[in-house]
Structure 1
């Protein structure tokens, strides 16, 4: 019997006459819970170094050990019953609490870099810089860009 799951994110699907449908349904809901507005605590490689609470998740760093072995770059979410691993898709974006920044998956997780306001140049156009600064402020307010420290 073929495993029934969604094409992109691998959510388990129900089949006619399937026993224990609630298990598959609950797993799908747990995956959705980790993926809607994804927030991870940190990037970590050793799950023994943390004390997880149900609903928390981490980005699995390269060279992960123990329960996370062979899950590099995945999102590891603690369900209370064990770890749930979610493979990232290109351009997936998560918020990393410990560094107060976003990470974007582009073959590996990359932290978002702040865009600096315009500076320098032979001719300074104050009005143009003010407009650029207001655009950057609007993008930061929407969470699209990180603010320049």
Structure 2
């Protein structure tokens, strides 16, 4: 990092004795406006849209062209001063309006709809944890109870389909 830019969002920084500090400050605010509580029109777009409205943002795709060239994976936002970009960083999140899901930048790519958690709590009670190993369906036995086996098989199928048990 140079003394001119911030380490995480690459925001311009003020310096003592700097003329026209408001220009640097306003540029930093414009970039913060794109990054904080980000909501994007769409994810993975390579061509800048024509006629964007101020405040509209997109996540640039892997092969950007035109005004977005060289800005792959960045958040591109249209402002009164033209396009501004915030480079993607590990862990960044945004809301994808087109998909109706959170997107997260992880391992060098934007991932839509993935919500990684170690466990899920409802009112402080764990309701979902890590996937457990497969449970074999019932077999054998001296007395065959077809209805009980069918019910157990349906429960196992539902738990597998929900991803709670391995298949």
Relative to the length of structure 1, the TM-score reads: 0.73
Paired residue for 2:14? 14
Tell me the distance in 2 between the aligned counterparts of 1:114 and 1:33: 24
Matching residue of 1:66: 66
Moved more, 2-11 or 33-42: 2-11
Q: For 2:19 and 2:66, how far apart are their aligned partners in 1?
A: 32
d(CA) in 2 for partners of 1:53, 1:84: 13
Runs of 4+ residues deviating >4 angstroms: none
Query: Which residue does the alignment assign to 1:34?
Result: 34
Which structure shows the bigger proportion of residues in strand conformation? 2
Q: Cα distance, 1:50 vs. partner?
A: 3.3
Structure 2 residue aligned with 1:104: 104
Q: Between Structure 1 and Structure 2, whose CA radius of gyration is higher?
A: 2
Alpha-carbon separation, structure 1, partners of 2:57 and 2:104:
16
1:51 Cα deviation after fit: 1.9
For these two proteins, the number of residue pairs brought into alignment is 123
CA distance in structure 2 between the partners assigned to 1:55 and 1:3 by the alignment: 28
Runs of at least 5 residues in structure 1 that lack an aligned partner in the other structure: 134-149
Under a length normalisation based on structure 2, what TM-score does the superposition of the two structures give?
A: 0.65
Choose between structure 1 and 2: higher helix proportion: 1
Superposed displacement of residue 113, structure 1:
4.0
Unaligned runs of 5+ in 2: 117-127, 138-151, 163-167
Whether the aligned pair in 1 keeps the contact of 2:55 and 2:77 (CA below 8 Å) is yes
CA RMSD of aligned residues (A): 2.6
How far, CA to CA, are the matches of 2:115 and 2:91 in structure 1? 17
Structure 1 counterpart of 2:24? 24
Matches within 5 A, 1:1-149: 4-43=4-43, 44-47=45-48, 49-106=49-106, 107-113=108-114, 122=137, 123=152, 124=155
